[in-house]
Amino acid sequence: GSDHAASTTTSALQQAGLAVQLEQTADALPADASVLVISAAIGPDHLEVAEARRRGLTIVKYAQLLGALMLGRVGVAIAGTHGKSTTTSLLCHILLTAGLDPSFIVGANCDQIGGGSRTAASASDGGILLAEACEYDRSFHNFHPTHAAILNVEADHLDLYKNLEEIVESFSIFARRIAPGGSLLINHEMSCRLDITAGLDCTIETIGFAPQADWVVHVANPPAAARSHEARIAAITTLSRDGQTIATWRSPMPGGHMAYNAAVAAVTAHRLGADWPDITRAIESFQGLDRRMQLLGHIHADAGRHAMSSAAGEADQARAGVPVVDDYGHHPTEIDTTLRAIHQHYRPKRLICVFQPHQHSRTRFLMEQFAVSFEQADLVIVPDIYFVRDSEAERHAVTAGDLVDRLRKQGVDALHMHPLAAVVDQLRRIVEPGDLIVTMGAGDVWKVARGLLG
């Protein structure tokens, strides 16, 4: 295969013995190729695509191939605007712990589920195949799931969809892809739930925090006094059905949204044959995945530079260092939910967020939502918008400065700063004991977090 630039992913593939071309030209297409599989980001004028057409090769999108692989297997598809990677990774971890050995496709790195111990057997013998089901490019319309989950539905990818109604219709089409006799687990609280489930020929169950849901999730957070800068007590999640407690576990990741994702994974795993003791044990041992509220480490802050309200408390914080957290959140709902979870879990004196907007069209379409999503942050630093997929006209229609201006009007302390190296230097100058730094975005803003720790 080929990619446009070297990365840790391409390096890992090369180390595994796969041939990776980093020059995407017609010559990169092997002479003996019969099928070219392309991602949704590859356009029809791509040089390799043009060469494949010239040779008369079969050209399929990645989602089409993945959907075809579900045929003859127990396909499990996890859909939703938010939480797909976390839920799919945790579901994989549960099934592996339970000895069910699924095949899986996950759009994020999760060291626990790895791949080194997997064999080709389960991929070819009608076993379980798990996959994220992405609504971008309507990719999930190519899937053939036996079981599916819809975590949530919100406005996103408005460069492809006209409005929320069109997105809901797209999820409805996906739901109709579920095999007769299969099942759908869907968010109970969504206003569009009935629009999506109308006329389905499969078992439908709802899950959520509302007591009317088929599966009810309840989270008991530890009191603030039980949380210190160095030690955290996990929240307790309870999953119940028909008023009866089915399972209880200590949540490995902070936030009610993570408890909900874990509950969806738990119910789906049980439907696939996992026992509840294995499920709860696996959830409690889950270590998370890259760029999802990932604590990367701590950096030193010079406590001597700042006035101390409590010498002992500040000394403890200075010794512990300033936590540096990295997160993939790039949608207003993800930002708001994640910042609230981080604030509640760590209780920092000051929460500094470095947010890199991802895609100019998303920033423009959701500007007002972005403006109210940083309430929990004490300072927001905004680098330039990460350019992907949009046209040059769209690129000039909105800037990071526009977002900063809107945040300031909302009363948020915000500033625009670029390049990323300058952000690292600025953070090192202003960081204080008791702070927490979180980098957020789907682009390369993670370089700021790594730069602080490097």
pLDDT band at 5 (very low <50, low <70, confident <90, very high): confident
Distances (CA, A) of 445 to 185, 363, 364, 451: 34, 16, 19, 10
C-alpha–C-alpha distance, residues 59 and 145, integer Å = 23
Residues 338-368: pLDDT tens digits?
999 888 888 899 999 999 999 888 888 889 9
Q: Is the pLDDT of residue 119 over 80?
A: no
CA 218 to chain centre: 22
Q: Is the pLDDT of residue 149 over 90?
A: yes
C-alpha–C-alpha distance, residues 193 and 170, integer Å = 13
Going 84 to 89 to 93 to 96, the CA torsion angle's sign is positive
Q: Is the pLDDT of residue 125 over 70?
A: no
For the purposes of burial, counting CB atoms within 10 Å of the CB of 255, is it exposed (0-12), middle (13-18) or buried (19 or more)? buried
pLDDT band at 307 (very low <50, low <70, confident <90, very high): very low
Coil/strand/helix, residue 206: strand
User: What was the pLDDT predicted at 121?
Assistant: 39
Residues 204-249: pLDDT tens digits?
999 999 999 999 999 987 665 554 444 456 789 999 999 999 999 9
Q: Comparing 380 with 312, which gets the higher pLDDT? A: 380
Q: What is the edge-to-edge ordering of all strands in the sheet holding 435-440?
A: 294-299, 322-327, 435-440, 350-355, 379-382, 414-416
Q: Is the pLDDT of residue 108 over 60?
A: yes
Please list the helix, strand and coil fractions of the chain in percent, rounded to the nearest 5, in that order. Answer: 40, 20, 40
C-alpha–C-alpha distance, residues 253 and 89, integer Å = 13
C-alpha–C-alpha distance, residues 89 and 408, integer Å = 37
Taking phi over 0 as left and psi of -120 to 50 as alpha, with beta for the rest, 246 belongs to: alpha
Q: Are residues 338 and 442 in contact, defined by beta-carbon separation less than 8 angstroms? A: no
User: What was the pLDDT predicted at 40?
Assistant: 82
Q: Is the pLDDT of residue 158 over 90?
A: no
The DSSP string of 263-274 is HHHHHHHHHTT-
Distances (CA, A) of 249 to 56, 268, 282, 398: 55, 16, 10, 45
Q: Which residues of 110-147 are buried (b: 16+ CB within 10 A; e: fewer)?
A: bebbeeeeeeeebbeeeebbbbbbbbebbbbbbbbbbb
Point out the least confidently predicted range of 137-141, 305-309, 331-335. 305-309
Q: Work out the mean pLDDT of the chain and round it to a whole number.
A: 87
User: What was the pLDDT predicted at 273?
Assistant: 93
User: What was the pLDDT predicted at 223?
Assistant: 64
Q: Is the pLDDT of residue 197 over 60?
A: yes
The DSSP string of 45-83 is T-HHHHHHHHHT-EEEEHHHHHHHHHTTSEEEEEE-SS-
Point out the least confidently predicted range of 4-8, 268-272, 414-418. 4-8
Going 126 to 130 to 136 to 141, the CA torsion angle's sign is positive
Going 12 to 17 to 23 to 26, the CA torsion angle's sign is negative
| For residues 261-265, average pLDDT | 95
